[in-house]
Amino acid sequence: MSSAALNVNIQMPLQQFALQCCFQAQREVVVLFGQSGAGKTSVLDCIAGFRKPEGGEIRLGERTLYSSEAGVNVAVRQRRVGYLSQQPALFPHLSARQNIEYGLLDLPRAERDARVNSALERFRIGALASSRPAAISGGEQQRVALARTLVCEPELLLLDEPLSALDEALKSLLLETLFDWQRERGVPMLYVTHDQEEAYSLSRRVLVMEKGKVIADGKPRDVFSAPVSRERAVVSGYENIFDATIEETHPALGTMTCRVAGTNLMLESPLAEKAAGEQASLAMRAGDILVATVRPAGISARNILAGTIATIVDLAGMVELRVLCGTTGFCVHITRGALQNLGLEPGRAVWLIIKTHSIQFLRR
Partner 1 sequence: MLMTSPLLLSVKLALVTSGLLLAFGLPLAWWLAFTRFRLRFLVESVVALPIVLPPTVLGFYLLLTLGSHGWLGEFWTRLTGHTLAFSFEGLVVGSVLYSLPFAVQPFTAALGSVDRKLLAASESLGASAWRTFWRITFPLALPGIITGFALSFAHTLGEFGVVLMLGGNIPGRTQTASIAIYDNVQMLDYATAARQSLTLLGISFALLVLINALNRRTKWRLQ
Verify binding: residue 181, partner 1, rule CB under 8 A. no
Verify binding: residue 108, partner 1, rule CB under 8 A. no
Q: How far is the CB of 177 from partner 1 (least distance, A)?
A: 19
Verify binding: residue 89, partner 1, rule CB under 8 A. yes
Given the rule CB under 8 A, which of 63-71, 85-93, 177-185, 293-301 is the region that contacts partner 1? 85-93
Site string for partner 1, 36-65 (x = CB under 8 A): ------------xxx---------------
Of 24, 52, 55, 76, the one binding partner 1 by CB under 8 A: 76
Q: How far is the CB of 131 from partner 1 (least distance, A)?
A: 13
Verify binding: residue 83, partner 1, rule CB under 8 A. yes
Mapping DSSP onto H, E and C, the string for the chain reads CCCCCEEEEEEEECCCCEEEEEEEECCCEEEEECCCCCCHHHHHHHHHCCCCCCEEEEEECCEEEEECCCCEECCHHHCCEEEECCCCCCCCCCCHHHHHHHHHCCCCHHHHHHHHHHHHHHCCCHHHCCCCHHHCCHHHHHHHHHHHHHCCCCCEEEEECCCCCCCHHHHHHHHHHHHHHHHHHCCCEEEEECCHHHHHHHCCEEEEEECCEEEEEECHHHHHCCCCCHHHHHHCCCCEEEEEEEEEEECCCCEEEEEECCCCCEEEEECCCCCCCCEEEEEECHHHCEEECCCCCCCCCCEEEEEEEEEEEEECCEEEEEEEECCEEEEEEECHHHHHHHCCCCCCEEEEEECHHHCEEECC
Q: How far is the CB of 107 from partner 1 (least distance, A)?
A: 11
Verify binding: residue 109, partner 1, rule CB under 8 A. no
Verify binding: residue 105, partner 1, rule CB under 8 A. yes
Verify binding: residue 103, partner 1, rule CB under 8 A. yes
Verify binding: residue 93, partner 1, rule CB under 8 A. yes
Q: How far is the CB of 195 from partner 1 (least distance, A)?
A: 22
Site string for partner 1, 115-144 (x = CB under 8 A): -------------------x----------
Verify binding: residue 350, partner 1, rule CB under 8 A. no
Given the rule CB under 8 A, which of 22-30, 55-63, 98-106, 320-328 is the region that contacts partner 1? 98-106
Residue 136 DSSP label: S
Site string for partner 1, 151-170 (x = CB under 8 A): -x------------------
Positions in the binding site for partner 1 (CB under 8 A): 48-50, 76-83, 85, 87, 89, 91-93, 102-103, 105, 134, 148-149, 152
